[in-house]
Amino acid sequence: MLEELFARASIKIYDYGIHRRREMSSTGRVFPFYVMSYLSRGHAVLRVPGREIELSPRSVIMIPPGVPHDHVMARAEESVFWWWHFDYKVYDAVDLLALFRLPLVHTVEDNDRFEALFRQYNDAIDLPDSIPNTLFRMASTLEVLGNLLEELMGDDAREGISPVPKVFLDILSDVVSCVGKPLELSSLASKYSMHPTYISNRFTSYFGVSPIRLHHRLMMENAKELLKRREKTVGEAAEMLGYSDVSSFSRAFKTTWGVSPAAVRAGDAPLQSVRIDL
């Protein structure tokens, strides 16, 4: 199931760079995405609630969303940081990296490989737009992420196995595979012998979204793709996803995407940012 989720996931890079610094005092930072920072030269200090960690060359930090932290220079010397601000989610809803207890700080073992992949990514970003270059950028991005996770999830780096109990991974699998069929908390409660409210609350704490809202989001993602590719009419898409009538499907689609399903199918309107409260 996890392999299926990773296959459906997409990475979003909000900002990136390689910076040379002689001073840095970034304090009280809290971001809604992951902060990855690799120190190739110099020394720094990372502070998170309850911990202060000294960073030396080859240290890589991975700060989860919402974690307050300070990142400051430790010495009066030039330091070089390679960094990403990013997230890695399934349908922009489930944070896959949250399924694992990744270490806050890890010493990169094969720094030559990591730095080569990051340089390749930076080169790919600067290429002119074209189909081959777009694919190269995508491949370069995933190579950096794959190498990063290979480092962070090594046996010596892991701070713990998945914090998500297997039963909730099973529930996640049910939700993901239930697109096109009704999903009720009561059915999940009956299947797993747990109270519906408990399932919803714990699921939300693990994955950042309730099972019902995730199911709705997956349905809307599926509908969007069907209509963009013109594989189904609006009515056929509504029926396939279990809606009793086209008007209720159209309202749900427009609330999610900001445009009507008919406009998406006709190619007359670009999709806006998702507005549904996840």
CATH number at residue 185: 1.10.10.60
Whether residue 178 lies inside any domain: the answer is: yes
100 inside domain: yes
Express each pLDDT in 80-93 by its tens digit: 999 999 999 876 77
Tell me, yes or no, whether 276 lies in a domain.
no
Q: What is the mean pLDDT of residues 186-190?
A: 92
Taking alpha carbons only, the member of 55, 68, 53, 49 closest to residue 21 is: 55
Domain that holds residue 213: 166-266
Specify the CATH number for the domain of residue 21.
Answer: 2.60.120.280
Crossing angle, helix 211-228 and helix 196-207, to 10 degrees?
60
Q: What is the predicted pLDDT for the residue at 53?
A: 92
Residue 228 and residue 183 share a domain? yes
pLDDT tens, position by position, 232-277:
888 988 888 888 888 888 988 888 888 888 888 887 655 554 433 3
Residue 217 in tokens:
């989001």
Domain assignment present for residue 42? The answer is yes
Domain assignment of residue 182, yes or no: yes
| Residues 136 and 225 placed together within one structural domain of the fold | no
Angle, helices 166-176 vs 211-228, to 10°: value is 30
Instruction: Say if residue 28 is in the same domain as residue 142.
Output: yes
Please check whether residue 237 lies inside any domain of the structure.
yes
Same domain, 20 and 141: yes
* Tokens found for residue 106: 């890890």
Decide the pairing of beta strands 59-63 and 105-107.
Answer: antiparallel
pLDDT score of 185: 92
pLDDT of residue 271: 54
Answer whether 0.75 is exceeded by the pTM.
no
Q: Range with the lowest mean pLDDT among 59-68, 98-107, 118-127?
A: 98-107
* 70 lies in the same domain as 132: yes
Q: What is the DSSP letter of 125?
A: H
Claim to verify: residue 118 and residue 189 sit in the same structural domain: no
Can you list the positions of beta strands (E) in 64-183? 69-73, 79-90, 94-95, 105-107
Q: Is 273 within the bounds of a domain? A: no
